[in-house]
Structure 1
Amino acid sequence: MEWMKEIRVLVFDLDGTLYQDENFIRPYLTYLFQDGDESVVSRWQTETERILKGEHPVKVGHFFSKAHKSGVRHKDGQPLSLYDWEGMDVEHPIESLRHSEGEMHYIGDSWGVLGAIAELVGIPPAVRSQAFLSVRRDMIGNLNSITPHEGVNAAIRGLKSIRHKLLMTNSPEEAAVGFVAKLGLENAFDTVVYGGNKPDGLIEYLRRYMNENGIAPGQIASIGDNAWNELYPIKRMGGRTVLVSRYETHDEEAWDLRIRTLDELAAFLLQLESDPE
């Protein structure tokens, strides 16, 4: 992969990219469905797991229409057709779906699946936000705690040929600062952006950085598990893309590299450093 020799800027996502741990799913659903009905929580946990395994009509790599409570097949982000939760086609004018209005929710990772479920059943945004903050608190503490991946951490810190290491997450600062420290990644990046408003915020940041530092798009590589937020915008600007996901995706876009595990991510970063210009 000759393109690796050109990389001078690395963009990292946080959730689902620098850790792969799904133990938060049931606790999050418990916080989400506040009535304490375990049967309801179990039902949606099963639905979540089926989607992630590719055993459900709703697919990783598709969008979810908030207004129509429907899955959305697409090509390069452009809607093609709609289907309901059971997989039956839904007749509706595709032209009415707009990314800019927040109408479509990308199902790119486990959080994306949970977000689609919350939209389907009508969980208010405030409840969803509080559930997220509660789960993050548990993940930082002793409940549902996660373990840092020492190989990835060492590889990130060892990237001496990279001019700029950016960590950008859509998670708010209050939910992410302690979490980054829990992962053992404090001071591992040149810049950390919380509440990044990806994908738009990512493009805005990189355009400024490129203009100020004389960096070409082909010198940038984005590493993430949510293609719509982290990979599509970089590919469109001419950068390189690395998908990190253990799940099969029905988004048919081609990325420069497909990684499934954190061990593979660590190996890629080590290779990147071993082949400097």
Structure 2
Amino acid sequence: MKQLIDEAKLLIFDLDGTLYEDTDHFDYYCRLMQQRVADDKKQAFWDTYENMKKGTHPVAIGKVYDIKNDTSVTVDPMTLQVTKVTSFDGEDWQEERIKQEYAGELVYDFERLIAIGDGWWLPYATAMHFGLKQSDTWECYNATKEYMVTDQFNLTKTPGLKDGLIRLKEEKKLVLLTNSEREDVKRLLNELELEGIFHALFTEGHKPLKTKEKMQTILDEFGVQPHEAVSIGDNFINEIAPALLMGLKAIYIQPNRIEVDHENLIIIPTLTNAL
């Protein structure tokens, strides 16, 4: 990994799950939405979410949740072709049905097809299945973001991260590309004591839908070729696969063992002391 970073001129970092790795706020988000379902569904709501986190439910990180069909969709992130579809209750679709419903490349639209790239989307998928409205999820999401900047919530600072970024900044351009809104990003960076370290902040990135577009903008702005840049994040769908397809190198933060083989990819469990 050291060689990959040493050779790069530009490092593009994700925020959630990358510069901090806490997950308690996902549970908080889910609890807020659980309160909005009928009493007789509350336990099933939470149990479903817990099974998603454990990986024992069809909907899981790395899958795509189809709100319309209430299905878990497995997509090859490098080709965007659907390889498997499973109902919310665990029944696999026949190949012919898959071809009819999901012909061609899958396009994530944030309305129907939701890429479950990180822990934020598991509560969301649970809420959609149990009949909540998108306005409910948005209100609970905003409430969670507000909670994250109160004294009740403390972000865990990744050991060695700040010093490592400061050293890298002496020779490389550091950019943050995140789906979060700018004010939330500023508050989180302040909490993590990372304010002022990045050369540029690209917020509301609409990843994965606009990942390639945003990364190309960053490359152009800093006059860097794709092979001279590294995308660093915990979401394979959002920031790793698109980067590799563009010719960038990538560092995928994934604590669980995963089988992905690519000459320009390195997988690490955490950023702790990695920089």
Normalised by the length of structure 2, the TM-score is 0.84
Partners of 2:128 and 2:98 lie apart in 1 by 20
Q: What amino acid maps onto 1:220 in structure 2?
A: A
Which deviates more from structure 2 when the two are superposed, residues 76-85 or residues 45-54?
45-54
Which residue of 88, 99, 103 maps to 2:107? Answer: 99
Deviation at 1:83, TM superposition (A): 0.4
The question of whether the paired residues in 2 share the 8 Å contact of 1:28 and 1:135 is answered with: yes
Matches within 5 A, 1:58-97: 58-75=59-76, 76=78, 77-91=80-94, 92-97=97-102
- C-alpha separation between the residues in 2 aligned to 1:104 and 1:191? 30
Partners of 2:161 and 2:271 within 8 A in 1: yes
Whether 1:120 and 2:129 are equivalent positions in the alignment is yes
What's 1:275 paired with?
A: none
Aligned-partner Cα distance in 1 for 2:154–2:41: 24
How do residues 165-184 of structure 1 correspond to structure 2 at under 5 angstroms?
165-184=174-193
The Cα RMSD (Å) is: 2.6
Q: CA deviation at 1:72?
A: 0.8
Aligned residue for 1:31? 32
Instruction: Give 5+ residue unaligned stretches, structure 1.
Output: 270-277
Distance 1:212 1:147 in 2: 32
1:12–1:41 Cα change, 3 Å: farther
Structure 2 residues without counterparts, runs of 5 or longer = none
- Over 3 Å counting, the alpha-carbon distance change for 1:164 and 1:39 in structure 2 is farther
Q: Would the aligned equivalents of 1:133 and 1:175 in 2 still touch at CA under 8 Å? A: no
Structure 2 SS opposite 1:141? coil
Looking at structure 2, the residues matched to 41 and 164 of structure 1 have their Cα atoms a distance apart, in angstroms, of 47
Inter-CA distance 82–162: structure 2 relative to 1 (3 Å threshold): farther
2:23 is matched with 22
Residue 163 of structure 1 pairs with residue 184 of structure 2: no
Q: Percent identity?
A: 26
Distance, in Å, in 1 between the alignment partners of 2:228 and 2:40 is 50
Equivalent residue number for residue 274 of structure 1: none
Deviation of residue 7 (structure 1)? 0.7
Secondary structure of 1:20's aligned partner: coil
Match of 2:52 in 1: 51
Counterpart secondary structure, 2:160: helix
**Equivalent position amino acid for 1:5 in 2:** D
How has the CA–CA distance of structure 1 residues 157 and 200 changed in structure 2, closer, same or farther, with 3 Å as cutoff? farther
Contact 1:13 1:168 in 2 (8 A): yes
Shift of 1:242: 1.0
2:151 is aligned to 142
User: For residue 107 of structure 2, what is the amino acid of its counterpart?
Assistant: H
Give the CA deviation at 1:212: 4.7
Q: TM-score, normalised by structure 1?
A: 0.84
**Deviations along 1:155-213, whole A, 9 cap, x unmatched?**
11221454321111111224332122111111111111221112344422332343354
